[in-house]
Amino acid sequence: MELLLLSNSRSPDGGYLTHASDLIRAAAGSRRTAFFVPFAGVTSNWDEYTAKVRAVVEPLGIELTGAHAAGADALDAAELIIVGGGNTFQLLRECRRRGLLEALRAHVRGGKPYIGWSAGANLACPTICTTNDMPIVDPEGFEALGLVDFQVNPHYTNALPPGLQGETRDQRLAEFLAANPDARVIGLPEGDWLRVDDAGIHLGGPFPARLFRQGEDARDVPAGGPVRI
């Protein structure tokens, strides 16, 4: 399998996926047709979301088809799969209701590259239980694609604004591991990404990631090298 899992879509310069365009180009290689899953979009409609991503990938020579406007034949014909961010609960529900989970899993395991950011990165995990999103809809189960055997926490930060008395991100992830002691979680800060292929897992980006295991102290993972999860 070939996966590119990004923490976020908004770049430090305010552009949309501008920090990821070279990564997307490299992940696509010579492939020129993509099946885009826009179902995490909530406050913008799926046509608008697809057009927004199309504006990014067309200059890279990639033709994009939105899953909401196409049938299974479009997925069969596509050479790569792109899953956008937004609300992970809605993304999972819509994929499940359309029977897309099994189809996406089969195509990626069959060799089609998978590119996902934020909610799209969560969807690649065994479950969506380490998303940061509100459960605005019932996804009819938390099980996701299971393309990797670890959990991702996108937009990772352990910062706590002054005066806020709620839990930190580390405390939330400790709760998850207390309930799921065999799981492993990697927190991806803004701007970071994971590349997963037959050679293993590689962390890229400007910041160290954070690795969490039950019964162990969380530890930083330096960017620019392999990750042993």
Q: Which residues are catalytic?
A: 118, 133, 155
Q: Which residues, in sequence order, are bridge partners of residue 34? A: 64, 80
Long-range CB contacts (within 8 A, 24+) of 102-105 = 103/72, 103/75, 104/37, 104/75, 104/145, 105/145, 105/146, 105/147
CB 63 within 8 A of CB 92: no
Residue 76's SS3 state is helix
**Running DSSP on this structure, what letter comes out for residue 220?**
E
Exposure string over 77-87, b if 16+ CB within 10 A, otherwise e? ebbbbbbbbbb
